Structure 1
């Protein structure tokens, strides 16, 4: 029953999230709750803790402690350090976990103009220490730079419904150099669900709600046991412009033992750029990881597969009638029969479950992986198709313009939101 409730909630709100800003949604929630709020202003970049947060002195450590102790439903931590501009906070030990709902708002630092100014530098925090540990539900992190912690940049546990926007996790303040955290960039663990990482992304450099999650020593974003999470509009493995490599050491995004997550979404403006990572672009591991949509992303330049179902480092072969189980039910991928650039047509076939409707997404890419399977750099077309009684369908798609001699690849997503790996490439004529 819980799984069904998560699925209904998740897919009911997804279209709305595409049409309204995350901040407006949060504001509406606060109004509906009628919740009092207390604001704690961080006015010092040192790590002192004398037990109070006031106009004389308030460190981030003191502000988190005060927010945790507050009786307000949702507290806000803002910043007004020095004369404004970039400020670095270097904790000398682990910061307190956020155990009561709070918004940590880096956009309030004077001089903020779209790029984060508040840096959390974990160099001196200790081995294995995470940047922020959030166990409270309905908390928000806005526009922080979190780097050089021995553990992960942000860890979400237990509570769900959290939002992370506009933050650089694993880079310098400029977003153009690797200052990675020792483990994951963002880790969603211990059943934390219904979290939102990012949002719709405008063209150009990564600005809020886009997050830059690059340079970390493990996975960029790891979802372990959480359900109903939305990961959209982020740059994972690139610099702030989404063009130069700052890859995470392992996968860009990893899903382990988790269901009903959405990586990207049905429209291009919520797709993530997932590139230059040391293993897979997106990996879906363990048989329990099903119904995970991977849609409209730009995935390219990763060392292994663009999408890997099973974390076995090789393409998962198609099977007759697609009756197997496994990560995302090992959904069969389509086949590209031909692609002609002069009239923008692509011929696609799919062998999968009989009498079933699938979403086919077609991508242009260059080059293919060494095994001749694709990654999908540029989404050029999408269409719903229905297989016949034998599980077969063939169609010719009219797509957006693509370049002769580039490679074409595709994915298939079933009605239960299981997305396949990328298909074998076909060179466009």
Structure 2
């Protein structure tokens, strides 16, 4: 900041824009409508030293809205290139108010000056700066237009309190071509975008349309780059902004590409890079290519000091909605394999951790928090600590690693003996937790890290997290693993933070970071699963239950995560279950229902998703189990009495059974009615109520009708009554719609309850 202030010249003039005209009106006197933005920029270029442009456009101007008070300036040709230090302040326009909401919330600024194109004109750049414009300050404008850069060129920039890619009302403009905001990829010295105060915060939204039908809003790119010189260290600060969001902080207006930050390629001191307290989104869009991601660190040098990424929120709206990030949240990109990135992502201090939510796989990218470069060299120093992971499809840190066939694999990287392998972050081995218990607020762990002192810089810091799926949801505490403890088991006890919820059924994952700032991937255990189904065989069109039991084969935890179940029908019949801990040690289980529609001998395949839980196979992959299942023809929907006649014995209860012998796909029902015969209701038996019997799909349980038969002292002939089925819905009554009940004396021991005898004609 000292370099910035030192370069700032005393303003030589203040040009007050008083018209929305795009004509080059440069008199800029007290007279009305004699100072346009174009004219003020032209006049400022003709004066030495730093100048200021402010606004006082009357509401009666034809470019101003009487309803909103917003004044729109439409440019029809390129604005003059800026060749002197210049400050442009839209908050000087009457009615304009800076944002008052702290980061990382929404942005409630009241902007009154809009800058956009006229007609179909597409400006190459909006504000184009020459290298002689040593300082450019921009505040309080809403700028939206398809362009290669709304701000481009220059040497030093202070961009605060603006909205890019949206109107002054926060709406996405209706043009289809992409609107790039920052095209600052040359030899800038200092770039400040946002700041720590609410009034500093920018909205930086993608604009244009993608190729979806109907088209969705978004598009464009951003690149910021600085270089150092011998006497002046480069500086990038991106702080407190909404990036890829509308001002509400909920609506995603994504860019095509990640926001690219480049600390230059000079031979002097590594520039300072700070990316703090921003909120990023990159919702899914169709830009006809493998585009996506929220933030990219471009490395074209050997970095000797770490770029700092702290306090940012990726993929979450201000209301907690998971708007997501398509592809990985952060990508570390190398200009070539000789470049050395050094980046600190998160921290142990209050507010230093980042939040990574809803990363979505796309192409080869898994939707991880951070993807490191695919490099056979060990020259990356990426430290990952104190961050929260919320429902990403990938993992935390992802080390691309070689495959046996010469390719590259993403996802889990296995530990190796002594940690001799190279690659991103030297493929630092992760900690292995062997014992775990919770007693009140005390957490007891035993762990070790198989990293020989020759292959890792000791001491190591080991960070422990409560797991959410395969990732660390929340940091518990950290331990120092000393050189004297290398490759041994170490027991530690932590006092849980106040209010921290952790119990014996939770899973803890860990990350090891060496003394030079190389972090490992998150730890994971191994498991095996079994799958069972019931009932089997079972008719098509009716759901049946599949149960999976998962047992940990390494580590002290009961498996967490999800299992995808699939049956080989066409298309596949699937369901997904979430594992829940059981009372058995190291064991969890889950169930879900399959609803196959095709008959035949089938195979059920259950697949534990290793990137959705903290376990894997011995090779770091998904774990599968199979079971055979027969899907039978359900047959026609039928309802029937179990028999056409039944015997009731005096003094006992007769149970009449109404069955659903086939079908089962539809919801069915039938009416049951009582018909009197020679027996007297209320004297010889308790007549059942007329009623409707209902079966849901998949329900084969018989309906049981209890009928008490009264006892008397008389010796009587057989007496009868009948039950009838009628008015079926979605079914036929077959084979038996009528059953006759024959009451016999209690002394007639030759018969038992329900004995059929001959049927009624």
TM-score by length of 1: 0.75
Contact kept, 8 Å, 1:169 with 1:213, in 2: the verdict is yes
Structure-2 change in CA distance of 1:296 and 1:83 (3 Å) = same
Distance, in Å, in 1 between the alignment partners of 2:255 and 2:321 is: 19
Q: Which has the larger radius of gyration?
A: 2
Pairing 1:150-299 to 2, within 5 Å after superposition: 152-159=220-227, 160-188=234-262, 191=265, 194-199=271-276, 210-215=277-282, 218-225=292-299, 227=303, 228-240=306-318, 243-257=320-334, 258-278=340-360, 279-287=367-375, 290-299=380-389
> Which of 1 and 2 has higher RCO (CA within 8 Å, sep 6+)?
1
The size of the alignment, in residue pairs, is 373
Structure-2 change in CA distance of 1:29 and 1:100 (3 Å) = closer
1:132 to 182, 189, 201: 182
Distance, in Å, in 2 between the alignment partners of 1:45 and 1:300 is: 49
Structure 2 residue aligned with 1:148 = 206
Distance, in Å, in 1 between the alignment partners of 2:171 and 2:79 is: 17
Contact kept, 8 Å, 2:235 with 2:273, in 1: the verdict is yes
Q: Does 1:99 align with 2:154?
A: yes
Structure-2 change in CA distance of 1:61 and 1:140 (3 Å) = farther
Structure-2 change in CA distance of 1:69 and 1:387 (3 Å) = same
CA-CA distance at 1:78 after TM superposition: 3.5
Task: Classify the secondary structure of the residue corresponding to 1:52.
Answer: helix
**RMSD between superposed Cα atoms in Å:** 3.7
Structure 1 gap ranges (5+):
1-25, 110-116, 200-209, 369-373
Structure 2 residue aligned with 1:204 = none
CA-CA distance at 1:178 after TM superposition: 1.4
Structure 1 residue aligned with 2:480 = 384
Distance, in Å, in 1 between the alignment partners of 2:145 and 2:236 is: 23
The superposition leaves residues 128-154 of structure 1 with CA deviations (integer Å, 9 ceiling, x where unpaired) of x52112242212111111222465553
Distance, in Å, in 1 between the alignment partners of 2:425 and 2:39 is: 49
The superposition leaves residues 361-382 of structure 1 with CA deviations (integer Å, 9 ceiling, x where unpaired) of 111122x2xxxxx311101101
CA-CA distance at 1:126 after TM superposition: 3.0
Q: Does 1:407 align with 2:507?
A: yes
Distance, in Å, in 1 between the alignment partners of 2:382 and 2:511 is: 13
| Structure showing the higher helix proportion among its residues | 1
Task: Classify the secondary structure of the residue corresponding to 2:426.
Answer: helix
Contact kept, 8 Å, 2:465 with 2:508, in 1: the verdict is yes
Contact kept, 8 Å, 1:381 with 1:397, in 2: the verdict is no
Structure-2 change in CA distance of 1:399 and 1:306 (3 Å) = farther
CA-CA distance at 1:195 after TM superposition: 4.6
Task: Classify the secondary structure of the residue corresponding to 2:512.
Answer: strand
Contact kept, 8 Å, 1:40 with 1:67, in 2: the verdict is no
Structure 2 gap ranges (5+):
23-36, 42-52, 58-71, 97-109, 113-141, 195-200, 209-218, 228-233, 284-290, 335-339, 361-366, 402-408, 526-555, 559-584, 586-761
CA-CA distance at 1:423 after TM superposition: 0.4
Contact kept, 8 Å, 1:360 with 1:410, in 2: the verdict is yes
Task: Classify the secondary structure of the residue corresponding to 1:292.
Answer: strand
Q: Does 1:304 align with 2:394?
A: yes
Task: Classify the secondary structure of the residue corresponding to 1:321.
Answer: helix
